[in-house]
Amino acid sequence: MAIISSSSSASTAAAAKGAKQKGRSGVQAAQALAKQKSLEKRAKKYKLPMGELAIFTQQLASLLVAGLPLVQCLEALQDQTEDPVFQIVIRDVRGDISTGNSFSTAVKNFPNSFNTLFVSMVEAGEASGGLAEILGKVAGYFEASVKLNKKVKSAMTYPIAVIGLAVALVNVLLIFVIPVFAAMFADFGAKLPAPTQFLIDLSDFMKVWWWAIGMGLYAVYWLTGKYVATPKGRRSKDIFLVKAPIFGNLIHKIALSRFCRTYATLIRSGVPILRTLEIVAAASNKVQIEDACDEIAKHVSQGGQVSEVLAANEFFPPMMKHMVKAGESTGNVDGMMTKVADFYDVEAEATVASLTSLIEPLLIVFLGVVVGGIVMAMFLPIFQLGAVAGGLQ
């Protein structure tokens, strides 16, 4: 009987363990399914970084050049990508192609992942039968854009970090350090110098109304964002950025480079000029270039030339106008545009380097004036302490 009871207990325990494992696997399967659905939902609106798009385009072009079918290329890229959301995007694109849709039609379902330039280049490649070659060209364009953007961002990182540090340091001094000096100065019973009194008053205000200052800054940021989102606000922003001191020249050169390189890449790939102008306008993110592209499209439709519109537009420098005109005379507009883009890329890099060397000493002076001014203002009463004590005697 003991043996039978022991065997029954063992069977019950094994059954309980199996049920527990089954329940655990069921929970894991449910979690995996929920995660998969979440990834699929995110894939529809996924914003693919330009750097990732450049790598994907270059790899796809290389696989196509090697002679692999498009579906097999996408399957390979899906397996090797580490981004789970982008894996879903590639999977869905591959599925659409497998059902008989074209590559350009499939990528149009993901406008945030594949921009207008990519889609138009794919359409041109499908029409000409040279998809691999055109993808190689657009990959080079993306890589050049990413390289320039990285240089600009790296140049801006240092001043932003220093200014942020200065703001944090000033707040710490105002909220925590200056009140200690204020309590000490209150025992003097003498009138404080104007700079010192101003800092003490500012410190008292910051301690009480810091939340109001934060809300006010956020309100200004929010209202500015709302205004910039309007057509009038966007136009004002773009005009201001191009004419802004120090950075305006750099922004202008980057915009010109992007205009020329996008135009040259599309024209060289066989995209019709009116469609090219639409894509250039959308990719420029500048109202000045959008207006120019509209004017060029109207002028070209009437039999005119691109250089004629550029010559009448102040946004484009004389050198660029002459280069484009020479390209039209020789039938090599895309080649001239590429040379202009290369020139402005070099100019932009030189401007970034000069700005970096200029900003560093300016920031050092700025920090010295701000922090040194606060320290001097707080020590002024101590410097005058001897004179005050002498007067009391």
Pair (206, 303) in one structural domain: yes
State mean pLDDT over 81-109. Answer: 90
Contact indicator for 124, 62 with CB cutoff of 8 Å: no
Looking up tokens 């300016």 gives: 362
CB 333 within 8 A of CB 133: no
CATH of the domain at 109: 1.20.81.30
The distance in angstroms from the start CA to the end CA of the chain is 109
- 42 inside domain: no
88 found inside a domain = yes
Task: Give percent above pLDDT 70 in the chain.
Answer: 88
Q: Above 60 in pLDDT, residue 387?
A: no
Per-residue pLDDT tens over the stretch 127-151: 878 888 889 888 888 888 888 888 8
Please check whether residue 228 lies inside any domain of the structure: yes
Same domain, 360 and 244: yes
228 vs 16: CA distance, rounded Å: 63
Q: Judge whether residue 4 has pLDDT over 60.
A: no
Q: Is residue 225 part of a domain?
A: yes
Residue 94 is part of which domain span? Answer: 50-114
pLDDT digits (tens, 9 = 90+) for 244-267: 887 888 889 999 998 998 899 888
Total-model pTM: 0.75
Whether the predicted pLDDT of 217 surpasses 80 = yes
Distance CA 392, CA 188 (A): 11
Statement to judge: residues 236 and 94 lie in one domain: no
| 77: in domain | yes
The tokens of 30 are what? 């449910």
Answer yes or no: is 310 within a domain: yes
Per-residue pLDDT reduced to its tens digit, 358-383: 887 888 888 888 888 888 888 887 77
Q: Which helix (H) or strand (E) holds 88?
A: helix 84-98
Question: Structural domain tally of the chain?
Answer: 2
Q: Is the pLDDT of residue 20 over 50?
A: yes
Domain co-membership, 62 together with 105: yes
User: Scanning the structure block, which residue is given the tokens 């057509």?
Assistant: 231
Indicate the average pLDDT of the chain: 84
**In this predicted structure, what is the pLDDT of residue 1?**
47
**Structure-block tokens of residue 314:** 């102040």
**65 and 178 in a common domain:** no
Residue burial 253-290, b: 16+ Cβ < 10 Å; e: rest = bbbbbbbbbbbbbbbbbebebeebbbbbbbbbebbbbb
pLDDT tens-digit readout, 43-94: 888 888 888 999 999 999 999 999 889 999 999 999 988 888 899 999 999 9
pLDDT score, position 46: 86
- Please list, in sequence order, all residues whose beta carbon lies within 8 angstroms of the beta carbon of residue 331, skipping any fewer than 6 positions away: none
DSSP secondary structure string for all residues of 10-72: HHHHHHHHHHHHHHHHHHHHHHHHHHHHHHHHHHTT----HHHHHHHHHHHHHHHHTT--HHH
Considering the domain boundaries, does residue 34 fall inside one? no
Of the candidate ranges 147-156, 262-271, 341-350, the one whose mean pLDDT is the lowest: 147-156
Choose one of 114, 131, 159: the last residue of a domain.
114
The single residue listed with the structure tokens 């000490």 is 184
**Residues 91 and 77 sit within 8 Å (Cβ to Cβ):** no
% of the chain exceeding 90 in pLDDT: 26
245 lies in the same domain as 372:
yes
Residue 26 lies in a domain: no
337 and 195 in a common domain? yes
Band of residue 326 on the pLDDT scale cut at 50, 70, 90: very high
Judged by average pLDDT, the poorest of 15-19, 98-102, 112-116, 367-371 is: 15-19
Which amino acid is it at 286? K
The reported pLDDT for the residue numbered 74 is 92
